[in-house]
Structure 1
Amino acid sequence: MTTRTVQAHPHAIAAREERRAEAYAMGINEAFIAEMVDRFYASVREDAMLGPIFDERIDDWPKHLGQMNRFWQTILLSAGNFTGNPMMKHLAIPTIGQEHFQQWLRLFYQTLDDIAATPEAVRHVGAKARMIAESLLTGIWVHRDRSDPLEKKVELPDV
């Protein structure tokens, strides 16, 4: 049996490199992402609403922070080094709802305001975070709650 290596198409590689260059120009790089993840999750752990939810589920914070670094590197730098299923992790939390995602975004935006080098970085990263929150919330409504998402109104803060 022979193994085949799949090579990315040159256009895909060029697009990935272009997205990475645009992120770097906004001040979004590996060091920024590491600081963002560390500061954000420190605020989450101290938060009265979100802290207990995370503390119940995460017993190895360095491992979780590493996973979140890889997640955000993949989202923001097209790194492709994240493996996991965020939707399944969130579906497994029986009490999570829109108010939790609202608070998550408020803390996330505050972290961005504190550390982002440029207003463009705040807008870009904040928009990605909101898109992720909206996607997870909609998935929870559909898969866990068996609700029609068109009958609900997503009310999440914008950056």
Structure 2
Amino acid sequence: MKKTVPAHPHAIAAREDRRAAAIAMGVDEAFIATLVDRFYAAIRRDALLGPIFGERIHDWPAHLAQMNRFWQSILLGAGNFTGNPMAKHLAIPTIGERHFQHWLGLFYATLRDVAPSEGAVALVGARARMIAESLLTGIAVHRDRDPDITRRMVLPHV
């Protein structure tokens, strides 16, 4: 059985402060749902990424619900996401830097269209870039055996 350790009061307070700051910028569950729905609609229409997702996602409502939980956990500290994004991305043999660059471009365009504030654009855009960088680094190290990727990667900023 997995033993859980209660969070330290300072960690709880910091998480609550981050959540309050995000909500003050308009980053809430409704915004996240809109962002996820519009972004994945764009993904499905996209010539580069649409086929990759289409081959792997067979239950779009379930995937969108999972992505909502993911972004709620990332942006609001909801803690309601379970999954292993790294394993999912490692399983795609052809995915590489150009895919993450393109993904970020679509994400940023959608974000700018739906974000309620410039603060929301900055916060969510920075988190998306961190996630893309982390996944790309993990793929380079674990699949491609290329630990120097971080010195060469060029990912856009919001």
> TM-score, length-normalised on structure 2?
0.95
The reply on whether 1:81 has 2:80 as its aligned counterpart is yes
Distance in 2 separating the partners of 1:113 and 1:127: 13
* TM superposition shift of 1:44: 0.4
* TM superposition shift of 1:10: 1.6
Return the letter of the residue paired with 2:147: D
* TM superposition shift of 1:16: 1.1
Distance in 1 separating the partners of 2:141 and 2:149: 10
Identity of aligned residues (%): 71
Residue of structure 2 in register with 1:146 after alignment: 145
Residue of structure 1 in register with 2:111 after alignment: 112
Distance in 1 separating the partners of 2:69 and 2:13: 21
Return the letter of the residue paired with 1:22: A
Distance in 2 separating the partners of 1:151 and 1:15: 29
* TM superposition shift of 1:152: 5.0
Mapping of 1:51-90 within 5 angstroms?
A: 51-90=50-89
Distance in 2 separating the partners of 1:129 and 1:151: 16
> TM-score, length-normalised on structure 1?
0.94
Residue of structure 1 in register with 2:30 after alignment: 31
* TM superposition shift of 1:9: 2.0
Deviating above 6 A after TM superposition, structure 1's stretches of 4 or more consecutive aligned residues are: none
The reply on whether 1:41 has 2:40 as its aligned counterpart is yes
Query: RMSD in angstroms over aligned alpha carbons?
Result: 1.5
Return the letter of the residue paired with 1:14: A
Distance in 2 separating the partners of 1:85 and 1:12: 23
* TM superposition shift of 1:5: 6.8
5+ residue gaps, structure 1: none
* TM superposition shift of 1:149: 2.2
Does structure 1 conserve the Cα–Cα contact (< 8 Å) formed by 2:137 and 2:147? no
Return the letter of the residue paired with 1:131: M
* TM superposition shift of 1:101: 0.3
Instruction: Tell me: CA distance 1:151–1:35, structure 2 relative to 1, closer, same or farther (3 Å).
Output: closer
Q: What is the aligned residue count?
A: 157
5+ residue gaps, structure 2: none
Distance in 2 separating the partners of 1:10 and 1:118: 30
